Amino acid sequence: GLVVQRTSPAEGKHIRACVVVSAPRALLEAEAEHLQLLKTVKSDALHGTWLEFEVADGSAFEGYEKEDFFSPCEESHLLYSALESVDCTPQFWQLMEKRTLTVTKTRQKRARRVHSLLCVLMTLDLVELVAPLHRESRL
């Protein structure tokens, strides 16, 4: 599944905390298949034939064997999609009831109608910003 790391902000920054989320290649591939991501086929790379990515046929796609098979843009899109697909569980709401939140009742009601944990956290202002980061190895 997703890999989540909490990091402390640098000294003097006005950020309370940062959460870095990454995904292993297998999860990105599964998400690419789910989203029917178009990738170039090896046998026809010169003509630019694109097909929907399928994990079972991975080796048929141009650059599949390389670490950077997914472009940074594709990787960000796939990771964000995977994040959005994480459902909010009853256990989450039980934890939230124990915490004191300075959130209006209207916003709480709106958040309970959303299924995506990420969307709920954003609605409750517990997540301020979702932004892609570059991997140092790809710079």
Convert the pLDDT of each residue in 32-45 to its tens digit: 999 999 999 987 65
Instruction: Give the integer Cα–Cα distance in Å for 33 and 56.
Output: 10
Instruction: Give the integer Cα–Cα distance in Å for 84 and 2.
Output: 12
Instruction: Give the integer Cα–Cα distance in Å for 96 and 99.
Output: 5
**Final residue of a structural domain among 85, 100, 128:** 85
pLDDT over 70, % of the chain: 87
| Band of residue 24 on the pLDDT scale cut at 50, 70, 90 | very high
- Quick one: DSSP state of residue 113? T
- In a domain, residue 70? The reply is yes
Instruction: Show the domain range for 42.
Output: 23-85
- In a domain, residue 10? The reply is no
User: Which of the pair, 12 or 83, is modelled with greater confidence?
Assistant: 83
Give the model's pLDDT for residue 68: 92
Domain count, the chain: 2
Residue 5: beta bridge partners? 20
